[in-house]
Structure 1
Amino acid sequence: MSDKAAAWKAFWAQQGPGNATGCLPARWQSVFAELEGAWRKFAAGLPENARVLDLATGDARVLHWLGEARADVTRTGVDLAPSLPPAPPGVSIHTGVAMEDLPFEDDGFDAVVSQFGVEYGEPPATAREVARTTTEDATVALIVHRGDGAILAHNLARAEQIRWVLDETGLIDATKAAVTEDTAPWATATASVAAVVDQGRQRYGDRSAGWEIPEAIRRSLVMGAQAGDSAAGVIGLLDRIESQARNELARIDSLAGACETADAREDFLAAFEAHDLALTDSRELHDAAGRLFAEMLELRRT
């Protein structure tokens, strides 16, 4: 399994049903409201009893929104991740499935949708499978990332902050060494970490990864001392913090690659046009603050 695949596997393993915020902070609720509105509008145009396939479905929130808007729709999702949060009621999920190699018969779906999904794969192979598994009058709706959008900008800033903590400060390695050499309550190590917590707050703010990660390390030391943990136990916590941080870096790297794929719009659309799926509509999506964060593309058979 690649680092990126492992990172997304770990991400979904940490999520509960319907509560993942993906690559955005939870406080950006207007983004999710805009996405939900876009899919509800799309649902209104589906034929009666439409069979819908969602590519890279994740927690299946798109299928959940479609089902709320249209109770008659049959909803199926696929995702490469080997495990996902429990599916919403009435949704069939197939895990460990690549969108480039779908396990479905020809002409089985009346619509294919994807939210921040197809651009993570290989568009030519995905387009072939979309064309194969859809009916002649099917609609394809894709919400894709934008390289000039707020989602990538937010995540690139987080990547800078994470690298500052992990690589520039060397905080985790230094803390492990100090804990190994000292005994609880590891006063020297805790004071050193607290200083980096303050640096991270001043440099990036108290909602930043530059503050969150050092603060998680500080709390691990304090709670470990209070619980009477051994140095090995605290080091295990630090290893988990580092693993989660590096997994986030891998996810951000894959996000940046997905933006590049979607931004190469001529090549991206040509992959679908090669299978007679042409762009019929597109619109930019903005949150309540006016920030561009995605684009919705609709395609139909020519």
Structure 2
Amino acid sequence: MGQTTTDHAWSEFWAQQGPHGSTGCLPARWQSVFATLERTWRTFASRLPQGASVLDLATGDARVLHWIGTTRPDTVLTGIDLAPQLPQPPPGVDLRPATAMEDLPFPDASFDAIVSQFGVEYGDTPQVAQEIARVASDDAAVGMVIHRGDGAILSHNLARAEQIRWVVDEMGLMAKTKAALNDEQPPWPDATAMVAAIVEQGRAKHGDRSAAWEIPEAVRRSLLMGAQAGDTVAGLAALLDRIEAQARNELARIASLEAACATADARDSFFGAFAAAGLAVSETDELSDAAGRVFAEMIALRRA
């Protein structure tokens, strides 16, 4: 399976993340979201049989396996992800990068539990469901935390996408900055002042610490530091290209998030794919943050 633009965006994302403490698609200030997720998976882990073998689909930074493993040190933990580059996994986790959910490299009935957090809905649901059913033991527990289109995660990320498009496309920050750099000599005071003005426009239009503030502020600081370090215009232009590439990678990730929400929200076809594979929904539970905002849903499945 070749790597799409979205796959590349997620590979870049995970390559830049630290260990399992990274915050994924939410700002670090949303700590209650992570607390709810951790509590959910620790409860799931507490119900597993002794020595259970656990497979995590689209594991990312393997934080779910970290929570399961620290709750139940007797479990045997394996994680797969399509991204070819992933952060260092927690101790005791067998991590398999560049591995598709639709084509799992494991024998039939290999696992006592199969889990996924914001993963299954990114794949080809019928194929993923068939693979889950194939590698699950007869009495395996299947637990999935899935996105919701009406959830706080998507709304936060759609707002962020709007902010990124404003600064990168509507304001044309990178092109304007490159042109301004070419029009004057270091330390480029006019170019820096122009970028600083966009920083303030972004703050006024979208708020302090928004992407509309964050991206031009990164450019402004780059110009100041570049002047102090004696950087060339060519060097700064290359840095601006990298900043823009990161912004467009984030837009690709948000687009894939929106598509994943749509997949999960089409409940008849989504759950129907699992029913066709012989897996029935046994329990559902809405997940909310401390402010009461629903952000996801925990789905438990068992063989029908």
Alignment TM-score, normalising by the size of structure 1: 0.99
Q: What pairs up with 1:243-254 in 2 under 5 angstroms? A: 243-254=245-256
For residues 88 and 223 of structure 2, what CA distance do their matches in structure 1 show? 34
Contact 1:143 1:297 (8 Å CA) reproduced: yes
The Cα offsets for residues 150-180 of structure 1, whole Å up to 9 and x where unpaired, read as 0000000000000000111111101111112
How far 1:280 moved relative to its partner?
0.3
User: Which residue in the other structure is 1:69 paired with?
Assistant: 71
User: Which residue in the other structure is 2:100 paired with?
Assistant: 98
The Cα offsets for residues 55-76 of structure 1, whole Å up to 9 and x where unpaired, read as 0000100000001111111110
2:86 matches 1:84 = yes
Contact 1:64 1:88 (8 Å CA) reproduced: yes
User: Which residue in the other structure is 1:186 paired with?
Assistant: 188
The Cα offsets for residues 273-301 of structure 1, whole Å up to 9 and x where unpaired, read as 00110000001000011111000000000
User: Which residue in the other structure is 1:209 paired with?
Assistant: 211
User: Which residue in the other structure is 1:174 paired with?
Assistant: 176
User: Which residue in the other structure is 1:139 paired with?
Assistant: 141
For residues 87 and 193 of structure 1, what CA distance do their matches in structure 2 show? 39
2:25 matches 1:27 = no
User: Which residue in the other structure is 1:268 paired with?
Assistant: 270
Contact 1:183 1:231 (8 Å CA) reproduced: no
User: Which residue in the other structure is 2:59 paired with?
Assistant: 57
For residues 265 and 151 of structure 1, what CA distance do their matches in structure 2 show? 19
Deviates more, 1:178-187 or 1:118-127: 178-187
Q: What pairs up with 1:212-227 in 2 under 5 angstroms? A: 212-227=214-229
For residues 18 and 12 of structure 2, what CA distance do their matches in structure 1 show? 12
SS at match of 2:85: coil
- Kindly provide the amino acid, as one letter, of the partner of residue 35 in structure 2: A
User: Which residue in the other structure is 1:127 paired with?
Assistant: 129
2:286 matches 1:279 = no
User: Which residue in the other structure is 1:114 paired with?
Assistant: 116
- Kindly provide the amino acid, as one letter, of the partner of residue 177 in structure 1: A
SS at match of 1:251: helix
Contact 1:57 1:77 (8 Å CA) reproduced: yes
The Cα offsets for residues 103-143 of structure 1, whole Å up to 9 and x where unpaired, read as 00000001100000000001100000000001111111000
How far 1:261 moved relative to its partner?
0.5
Paired residues, number: 302
The list of structure 1 runs, each at least 4 consecutive aligned residues, that deviate by more than 2 angstroms after superposition, is: none
For residues 251 and 244 of structure 2, what CA distance do their matches in structure 1 show? 11
For residues 297 and 18 of structure 1, what CA distance do their matches in structure 2 show? 23
For residues 137 and 171 of structure 1, what CA distance do their matches in structure 2 show? 56
How far 1:181 moved relative to its partner?
2.6
User: Which residue in the other structure is 1:233 paired with?
Assistant: 235
How far 1:236 moved relative to its partner?
1.1
The Cα offsets for residues 18-66 of structure 1, whole Å up to 9 and x where unpaired, read as 2321110011001000000000111111111111100000010000000
Q: What pairs up with 1:33-44 in 2 under 5 angstroms? A: 33-44=35-46
How far 1:2 moved relative to its partner?
1.5
Contact 2:21 2:63 (8 Å CA) reproduced: no
The Cα offsets for residues 216-271 of structure 1, whole Å up to 9 and x where unpaired, read as 11111111011110001111111111000000000000000000000011110110
Say what the alpha-carbon RMSD is for the aligned residues.
Answer: 0.7
Contact 2:167 2:216 (8 Å CA) reproduced: yes
User: Where in structure 2 are there 5+ consecutive unaligned residues?
Assistant: none
Identity between Structure 1 and Structure 2 (%): 65
2:20 matches 1:18 = yes
Contact 1:18 1:61 (8 Å CA) reproduced: yes
- Kindly provide the amino acid, as one letter, of the partner of residue 144 in structure 1: I
For residues 36 and 64 of structure 1, what CA distance do their matches in structure 2 show? 9
User: Where in structure 1 are there 5+ consecutive unaligned residues?
Assistant: none
